[in-house]
Amino acid sequence: MPLGQKTGDSRYCGVETQFEDDIAKLLASNINGCFDFILPPLMDPTYRPSLASNENGAGVPPFSGSDLVLSPSQWSSHVVGKISSWIDLDSEDQVLRMDSEITLKQEIAWASHLSLQACLLPPPRGTSCANYARCVNQILQGLNKMQLWLRVPLEKSDNDAMEGDTNHLSGGPVDSWDCWNSFRVLCEHHSQLSIALDVLSSLPSGNSLGRWFGEPVKSAIIHTNAFLTNAKGYPCLSKRHQKLLVEFFNHSIQIVISGGPVHNTSTENVPTNYIDGKFLKACSIFCIDGHPLRSYLDYIGHLYQRMDPLPEQERFELSYRDFLQSPLQPLMDNLEAQTYETFEKDVVKYSQYQRAVSKALMDRVPDEDACTTTTVLMVVGAGRGPLVRASLQAAEETGRKLKVYAVEKNPNAVVTLHSLVKLEGWENTVTIVSSDMRCWDALRKLIYWYVSELLGSFGDNELSPECLDGAQRFLKDNGISIPSSYTSFLQPVTASKLYNDVKSHNDLVQFETAYVVKLHSVAKLSPSQPVFTFSHPEHSTKKSNQRYKKLRFEIPSDTGSAMVHGFAGYFDATLYKDVHLGIEPSIATPNMFSWFAIFFPLRTPICVRPDSPLEVHFWRCCSSTKVWYEWCVTSPSSSAIHNCNGRSYWVGL
């Protein structure tokens, strides 16, 4: 029975079991106990290929029954195979090493035959995992759609980790991320290699935990000895563990309960409203009593059920999470009606524009001149008229008179504009100009200010600077622009899913393209920093829209090592005085959905060690026909300069 009715894989909870010859009975007892899937060993743990006889078929590996003991849908939906934990492919013992390689291949082949969705690989042992990774990489090259989950203990890696502390499951280094990173690099960042995190009683620092949410974590294995005991003897988790589990739920990471019961509880005596002393018996009415781990499952179920529901905006954006989209090119392409309609629904954005226009009108026209002075305003890139409407509403609420020129190059949108003017009775107020703002030349120095929404996810990436420079000749000498300025921001991120999505195209062009994306499964490794700023109107005689910026990011030392797959880009814009809008995370305008972040990938991910700065170079380049970005990393190691001469990605003028 799923933990709740929310969407996503995270509502499912499994259980790690021992080897059982009768897997049908094993599955039935755990499904009846309210678990959604089991994680059993596929092979008898006593089996060793070197000890098996090859006579009379006695050397057949001891898998738990045939494929017929469960239906195909049961194998696929309710079983995650667990590879033998004794295997050690990097052992100095040649017999053990060969046994391990044979067994690994046998078990993966059997799991693939059963059409399992995933198999759990044991953690690497010791400081070297090269041979283990080699064998797994060989298997990955011919694997079907099955995922391989590498078991990785969530060990402490911050400064309060005790000297000499080692990975108690694998004997490896304290920071298990390093072990995972070494393994996945050796496996060429394969998209079917994922992580199952072992959650133990102690947790690393918040920054150290955060980097895992940019990695391909598919499952979190919660050990029963990680649970605390409340005053009544029932299992509970620390506040930090609870917060971590909620993050797992939010990232569709499935939960697995592991280990034997360490709390002496009876499900029949569980209070009905108690969690940390107030537990809700969430799943009990659906389950057969008596499962030894039921109290742990019920606790997990209640944590899931008491999560705050997703806001309406987040529900709307669910299908866009981590989905790469090409940025709009509104100068080269005419937008479609559906695109206009999506953006026009952003009430917050247009209310901010209305506030900006209202303040500008109040500043320019004193109360005593409100009835006699008409302000001439030009909407640059009017689309289907939302900024025209916002400007006229600002005039109405301030009691000022306004004359609007609506300039739009898209002939299809102009048709809608004419209908809107007639419908609203704006014939004496609004003049429609069907032209590119850079080409129209009818009103020189007659406009008091212009208003535009030409901003892209990176601020200037939809060529707002070039467009507004072209429209500036209409402005009076003391004219103003809304927006008056905008700044782009950049932030290094771990984004394994996005990287693998780009990598799947096997094409240089994709790695040199910027994408618009609703970031979700990413780890933000350092606060964002400003990159390029543009102000309007720009009266400098030596103005240029080319830019270059060198940025130096410091990754917090308690994060541990981290992989940089690329950079998230944002913008913040000042519309007028203190009225702003933007998507930079620390100052983002709430409940605004017109813009997702932009993502600049790296062809080769960069591993950043603790206290090692990340130095990034970014260029905005211009020619007579196009604008493009180039970017590279020079520290801690150098990358290639991406998108040289705009060979892969550019925005046409």
Q: What is the pLDDT of residue 571?
A: 98
What average pLDDT is seen over the chain? 89
Contact 135, 104 (CB under 8 A): yes
Q: Please write the tens of the pLDDT for every residue from 608-632.
A: 998 889 999 999 999 999 999 999 9
Strand ranges (DSSP E) for 557-596? 562-576, 579-582
500/592 same-domain check: yes
Q: Is residue 629 part of a domain?
A: yes
Beta-strand relationship, 597-608 and 515-517? antiparallel
Q: Please write the tens of the pLDDT for every residue from 154-180.
A: 986 544 443 334 344 444 447 899 999
Looking at residue 133, its amino acid is A
For the CA atoms of 79, 85, 90, 95, what is the dihedral angle to 10 degrees?
Answer: -110
428/497 same-domain check: no
Distance CA 319, CA 333 (A): 25
444/514 same-domain check: no
163/224 same-domain check: yes
Q: Is residue 61 part of a domain?
A: yes
Contact 275, 315 (CB under 8 A): no
Number of structural domains found in the chain: 3
CATH code assigned at 646: 2.70.160.11
SS (H, E, C) 271-297: CCEECCCCEECCCHHHCCCCCCCHHHH
Q: What is the pLDDT of residue 270?
A: 41
Annotated binding-site residue numbers for S-adenosyl-L-methionine:
340, 349-350, 408, 436-437
497/400 same-domain check: no
Final residue of a domain: which of 263, 287, 315? 263
502/445 same-domain check: no
Beta-strand relationship, 118-121 and 81-82? parallel
Angle (CA) 652-477-467 rounded to 5° is 10
User: What residues in the chain have per-residue pLDDT under 70?
Assistant: 1, 5-8, 53-59, 156-173, 265-289, 441-445
501/444 same-domain check: no
Which residues sit opposite 459 in a β-bridge? 456
Q: Is residue 20 part of a domain?
A: yes
Annotated binding-site residue numbers:
340, 349-350, 408, 436-437
Q: Is residue 377 part of a domain?
A: yes
Q: Is residue 556 part of a domain?
A: yes
Residue/partner pairs of 251-254 with CB below 8 Å, 24 or more apart: 251/10, 251/213, 251/217, 251/520, 251/521, 252/8, 252/9, 252/10, 253/9, 253/10, 253/197, 253/217, 253/218, 253/219, 253/220, 254/9, 254/10, 254/12, 254/13, 254/14, 254/218, 254/219, 254/220
Q: What is the pLDDT of residue 398?
A: 96
Strands across the sheet with 401-408, in order? 430-434, 401-408, 374-380, 447-452, 475-482
Looking at residue 117, its amino acid is Q
Q: Which domain holds residue 118?
A: 9-263
Final residue of a domain: which of 263, 285, 308? 263
512/418 same-domain check: no
CATH code assigned at 385: 3.40.50.150
36/109 same-domain check: yes
Q: Is residue 321 part of a domain?
A: no
Which amino acids are annotated catalytic?
453, 462
Q: What is the pLDDT of residue 58?
A: 57
Q: Is residue 479 part of a domain?
A: no
107/154 same-domain check: yes
Beta-strand relationship, 147-153 and 118-121? parallel
CATH code assigned at 138: 3.20.20.150
Q: Is residue 322 part of a domain?
A: no
On the CB side of 151, how many CA atoms lie within 13 Å of its CA? 27
164/27 same-domain check: yes
520/394 same-domain check: no
Final residue of a domain: which of 263, 284, 305? 263
